[in-house]
Amino acid sequence: MKTQKKKPNIVSVHLSPEAKAALDHACAERGMTIKSLLGRLIDWFNSMNKTEQSIILGQVEESDIEALADLILKRRSGNKTARAPRTRKRARR
């Protein structure tokens, strides 16, 4: 029985010339390929919970970030009673 080769997952990313130069510089300083750096960043992002991901993606209002960061730190320190702060609903536009 033949085993199929694993096909690589290919993702195309469009970067500005400045962003590409900065990424190349970061990789060169750390002795990594872009592929390995991006793989680690994706693994890191996926290891986070939805709240942390939302902050990183800029989906949280600036005024709520500090309270959410405190909540995340409490949760990570083992405080099981930590609850999400109540936030006001966004006004519809």
Q: How many helices (H) and strands (E) does the chain have?
A: 4, 0
Residue 60 DSSP class: S
pLDDT at residue 78 in the model? 83
Task: Tell me the average pLDDT of the chain.
Answer: 84
Q: Give the pLDDT score at 44.
A: 95
Q: Which residue has the tokens 């709520």?
A: 64
Q: Which of 4-18, 28-42, 53-67, 75-89 has the highest mean pLDDT?
A: 28-42
| CA of residue 58 relative to chain centroid, distance | 10
Please report, rounded to a whole number, the percentage of residues in the chain having pLDDT higher than 70.
82
Helix (H, G, I), strand (E, B) or coil at 4: coil
Instruction: State which of 2-11, 18-27, 51-60 shows the largest mean pLDDT.
Output: 18-27
- 76 φ, ψ (degrees, to nearest 5): -70, -25
Query: Torsion angle of alpha carbons 56, 58, 63, 66, nearest 10°?
Result: 0
Q: How far is CA 84 from the centre of its chain?
A: 20
Other beta carbons within 10 angstroms of residue 91's beta carbon come to 5
Q: Where are the domains of the chain?
A: 15-47, 50-85
Q: State the pTM of this model.
A: 0.64
